[in-house]
Amino acid sequence: MNLLLLILVPLLTATAILLMRNASQVKWVALTGATAQLILAFVLFFAFRKEQAAGNPLQMLFQQQYNWFPSWHISFHLGVDGISVAMILLTAFVVIAGVLVSWNVARMTKEFYFLLILLSLGAYGFFISLDLFVLFFFLEIAVIPKYLLIGIWGNGKKEYSANKLALMLMGGSALVLVGLLGVYFSTPEHTFDLLKLSDIQIPPEVQKICFPLLFVGFGVFTAIFPLHTWVPDGHSSAPTAGSMFLAGISMKLGGYGCLRVAVFLMPQGAKEYSTIIIVLSTIAILYGAFATMMQKDLKYMNAYSSVSHCGFVLLGIGMLTKVSMTGAVMQMVSHGLMTALFFAVIGMIYERTHTRQVNEMGGLLKVMPFIITILFIVGLCSLGLPGLSGFVAEMTVFMGSWQHPDPLHRIATIAACLSIVVTAVYILRAIGQTAMGPIKAGYENLSDATWNEKLAAIILVIGIVAIGTAPFWLNDLVSPASQLILEKIQLVQ
């Protein structure tokens, strides 16, 4: 299958949106475009599985290469492995759900949808790039729309949050850029090509400097401790779809970058710094969970819990085993779907109650059974209930992490296991206060979800349940790719 389609479809959608006359046309064009993305993602998934079943030995499938800046050895090199396919599927799910829940955005609808689609374009480009320069280019495309989405359509202290988010992510990108240039100039070929670089041994002294630059740079995106503080403010100020894209897609760019660029190209650096990664991610998991427990605003709560959950991604990567890295990717997909859904539900509740403070709500199950049922499902997914995606991902990370018998890895794994108790505490507190108990006065006549909200929620629930009840398809997709990364690591002494 032609990977260029993944860039062309959002591009065409975005262009078409600009040409539309009124808001209703814009919405339908965006929805059509998002549906096309979803279909495309599935076509890619099945095409990939077919190749995999046929025993295609190439690491990256469906490769294409076009010259871009030949003098600098930059080429438009595309290709996917199982990890990319998983991320592309995730993106397509989040995009269509995001488009659907934004149906009632009244202000500057055209610009809003344009930015959403542009963001998805950046994400797809990022996930299929095999050239580090192109990858970086798409990373930046994915950052800018977020600034505008929060700054224009956000609420609360939106300017502050937009600035903070953009500056911190730009700071991360700057580190990434420096790291990439370091890699570029360290090799005699002067190449940005991922596959070529992976064949060359990057000198250990370069890895020592560039690995932390790249890892931390990408890590900022995925809320590495202590550079996670853009997450709570950014998410809570963003409009619903903005939060969904931020948590569901943007944060995953970081995890993907850590794995694909930092660990894959610099296994020696990864080994050297794995202790620090493990310590930081364990802190993020527990500290994030405890901080979540004290939040009273639903969006802050979910944002802090994202810090905790993304800690599992970094923990899985830092553990450097095949199973733990597979678990990290699963956690990315699972967390993406789950958090997007969580923010969608919070948005639906907020639109009706006009508050996000848990203590101002109560008994909402009575008036909005559908929305609250979804809240239960997503809450249970977040606390790792079997049958939903969170469980599968977390358990895979635990199983992978436990393969190291030394005390550090053991303590980190046990601490991560114990976080599931804290997660249960904050999720049940939130659900108990919002959904259960006697209904608060003034909320008796609230309405339940509309068709677009229902559709968005159902799409994401399908994703969550599909992973939760039949994890083998995701495992089969991802684990060969993590096996290849592991082999690179094993080559290092």
Partner 1 sequence: MPNLTYIALIPLLPLAGFLLLGIFGRNYFKTTSGIIGTTLLLIATVLAIYTAYGYFFEYGKVAGVYQKLVPLHYTWLEFSKGVSIDMGIILDPISVMMLVVVTFVSLMVHIYSLVYMKGEERFPTYYAFLGLFTFSMLGLVVSSNIFQMYIFWELVGVSSFLLIGYYYDRPSAVAACKKAFIVTRFADAGFLIGILILSFYSGTLDFNTLIQKLTSPDSVELKNAVAASFLGVSALTWGLVLVFIGGAGKSAMFPLHIWLPDAMEGPTPVSALIHAATMVVAGVFLVARLFPVFAISAPEALNLVGYVGAISALIAAVIACTQTDIKRVLAYSTMSQIGFMMFALGVSGHGGENGLGYTASMFHLFTHAMFKALLFLGAGSVIHFIHSNEMKDMGGLRKYLPITHITFLIACLAIAGVPPFAGFFSKEEILLAAYQHNSIIYYVALFTSGLTAFYMFRLYFSIFWNKKADIHGEHHGEGGFALLMPLILLAVGAAAAGFIPFGNFVSSDGTKLESAFHLQFSILPVAIGLIGIFTAMWLYKKKNDKPDKIAASLSGLYKAAYRKFYIDELYTFITKKILFNLIGRPAAWFDKNIVDGLVNATGKATQTISEKIKGMQSGKVQQYAIYFLIGVIALAVLFIYVWK
Angle at Cα 127 formed by Cα 126 and Cα 128, nearest 5°?
A: 95
CA dist., res. 71 & res. 6, Å (int): 27
Which member of 195, 367, 399, 492 binds partner 1 (CB under 8 A)?
399
Which member of 200, 425, 446, 484 binds partner 1 (CB under 8 A)?
425
Which amino acid, 245?
A: F
Which member of 27, 343, 471, 486 binds partner 1 (CB under 8 A)?
471
Per-residue contact flags (x/-) with partner 1 for residues 214 to 243, judged by CB under 8 A: ------------xxxxx-------------
Which member of 429, 440, 454, 488 binds partner 1 (CB under 8 A)?
429
Which member of 403, 450, 454, 484 binds partner 1 (CB under 8 A)?
403
Q: How far is CA 255 from the centre of its chain?
A: 7
CA dist., res. 250 & res. 82, Å (int): 19
Q: Helix or strand or coil: residue 57?
A: coil
Q: Which of these segments, 39-47, 331-339, 349-357, 431-439, binds partner 1 (CB under 8 A)?
A: 431-439
Q: Is 417 an interacting residue with respect to partner 1 (CB under 8 A)?
A: yes
Q: How far is CA 6 from the centre of its chain?
A: 18
Nearest to 227 by CA among 185, 294, 281: 281
Structural contact between residues 96 and 459, judged by C-beta atoms closer than 8 angstroms: yes
Q: Smaller CB distance to partner 1: residue 89 or 284?
A: 284
Q: How far is CA 79 from the centre of its chain?
A: 20
Q: Is 203 an interacting residue with respect to partner 1 (CB under 8 A)?
A: no
Alpha helices per DSSP H over 20-131: 23-53, 82-101, 109-128
The number of beta carbons lying within 10 Å of the beta carbon of residue 344 is 29
Which member of 291, 329, 459, 461 binds partner 1 (CB under 8 A)?
291
Quote the least distance from Cβ 269 to partner 1, whole Å. 25
Quote the least distance from Cβ 83 to partner 1, whole Å. 17
409: Cα within 13 Å, side-chain hemisphere:
18
Which member of 181, 200, 272, 387 binds partner 1 (CB under 8 A)?
387
Q: Is 167 an interacting residue with respect to partner 1 (CB under 8 A)?
A: yes
CA dist., res. 250 & res. 234, Å (int): 12
Q: Smaller CB distance to partner 1: residue 405 or 442?
A: 405
Binding site for partner 1 (CB under 8 A): 163-164, 167-168, 226-230, 287, 290-291, 293-295, 304, 322-323, 363, 365-366, 369, 380, 383-387, 391-392, 395-396, 398-400, 402-403, 405, 413-414, 417-418, 420-421, 424-425, 428-429, 432, 435-439, 471-472, 475
